[in-house]
């Protein structure tokens, strides 16, 4: 009772023009025919309103001006006996109206516009489609509540061990780390027992040093001839011309290194004596 009181009434469809007809009793099971009614002389005209309360829909026939209720038809399912379509038109229906005392009667209703008849039909279909979905959801919820729940929690004293650091491959061996080389490329590790060959860097040759660095010219006395000056330009290649003092000549070490290289051709100096 409390749940029924909390339900509210919603309006599904309103059509301002509807005609009501008194229909003859059906003589066969093939359905009602609108051509058997007096379509030019309806027994009542007014407004039609389709409402719903809970899972039940109501077709209410009301006065256009005052809104006074003329008749209503409660509908528990659609299609069903409460609302039927005629066999010869899509604008006319047969509904079962009921009063508060439980008496019922079948009357015919019709719409002038075919679009109004379509809206009336669709509003009832949408409502009972929603009722069907709600019934299925309630049934699934009830089955889920009665079904035994699966307990996936740890029992008292139960533990679990995770070994993430030493992950094993599919063959059962330990996963080999990949060596990252230069440029972001991944290199395969060396085979077991092998060694990575590291390219050796050749030592700096004394010839290279002698080619890039030349000693400064030596100051000679004024009585030296031009031939002596020219011969003095080749002094770095001769050990007899090197000065014996190591404190005043900082180029002595380079001259000594140059003289120690065997089979080396003398280098001509680019220094010019002024």
Question: Token pair of 274, please?
Answer: 């002024």
pTM over 0.85: no
Mean pLDDT of all residues in 67-81: 91
Q: Does the structure show a pLDDT above 80 at 74?
A: yes
Does residue 62 surpass a pLDDT of 60?
yes
Q: How far apart are CA 62 and CA 123, in angstroms?
A: 18
Mean pLDDT throughout 193-219? 55
Task: State the pLDDT at residue 267.
Answer: 53
The Cα 260–Cα 255 span in angstroms is 9
User: Helix/strand/coil (H, E, C) string of 258-274?
Assistant: HHCCCCCCCCCCCCCCC
Task: Determine the pLDDT at residue 110.
Answer: 95
Give the mean model confidence (pLDDT) for residues 201-211: 53
Q: Which residues contact 268 (CB under 8 A, 6 or more apart)?
A: 233, 234
Would you state the pLDDT for residue 243?
47
30 or 14: which carries more pLDDT confidence? 14
pLDDT band at 13 (very low <50, low <70, confident <90, very high): very high
Domain 9-140: which CATH class? mainly beta
- Asked if residues 269 and 233 have their Cβ atoms less than 8 Å apart, the reply is yes
In the structure, what pLDDT confidence band is assigned to residue 148 with cuts at 50, 70 and 90?
confident
| Residue ranges per structural domain of the chain | 9-140
Give the pLDDT score at 43: 93
Question: What pLDDT shows up at residue 152?
Answer: 77
Confidence of residue 166 (pLDDT cuts 50, 70, 90): low
Residue 211: CB atoms within 10 Å: 11
What's the rounded Cα separation, in Å, for the pair 130 and 138?
A: 12
Confirm if 257 and 207 have CB atoms less than 8 A apart. Answer: no
Position 68 scores a pLDDT of 92
Q: Average pLDDT for residues 177-182, to the nearest whole number?
A: 54
d(CA 140, CA 257): 98
Q: Does pLDDT of 109 surpass 80?
A: yes
What is the chain's mean pLDDT, rounded? 74
């Amino acid at each position: 009772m409390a749940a029924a009181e909390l339900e509210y009434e919603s309006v599904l469809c309103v059509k301002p023009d509807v005609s009501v007809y008194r229909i003859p009793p059906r003589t066969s099971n093939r359905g009602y025919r609108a051509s058997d009614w007096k379509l030019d002389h309806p027994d009542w005209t007014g407004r039609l309103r389709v409402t719903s309360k809970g899972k039940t829909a109501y077709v209410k026939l009301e006065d256009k001006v005052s809104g006074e209720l003329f008749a209503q038809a409660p509908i528990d399912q659609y299609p069903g006996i409460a609302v039927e379509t005629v066999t010869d038109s899509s604008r006319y229906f047969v509904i079962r109206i009921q009063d508060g005392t439980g008496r019922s009667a079948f009357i015919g209703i019709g719409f002038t516009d075919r679009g109004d008849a379509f809206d009336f039909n669709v509003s009832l279909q949408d409502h009972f489609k929603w009722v069907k979905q709600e019934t299925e959801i309630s049934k699934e919820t009830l089955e889920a509540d009665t079904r035994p729940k699966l307990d996936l929690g740890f029992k008292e004293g139960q533990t679990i061990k995770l070994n993430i650091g030493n992950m094993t491959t599919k063959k059962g061996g330990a996963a080999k780390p990949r060596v990252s080389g230069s440029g972001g490329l991944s290199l395969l590790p060396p085979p077991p027992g092998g060694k990575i060959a590291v390219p050796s860097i050749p030592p700096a040759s004394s010839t290279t040093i002698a080619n890039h660095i030349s000693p400064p010219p030596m100051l000679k006395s004024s009585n030296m001839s031009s031939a002596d000056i020219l011969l003095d330009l080749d002094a770095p290649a001769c050990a007899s011309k090197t000065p014996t003092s190591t404190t005043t000549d900082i180029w002595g070490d380079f001259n000594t290194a140059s003289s120690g290289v065997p089979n080396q051709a003398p280098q001509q100096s680019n220094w010019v004596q002024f």
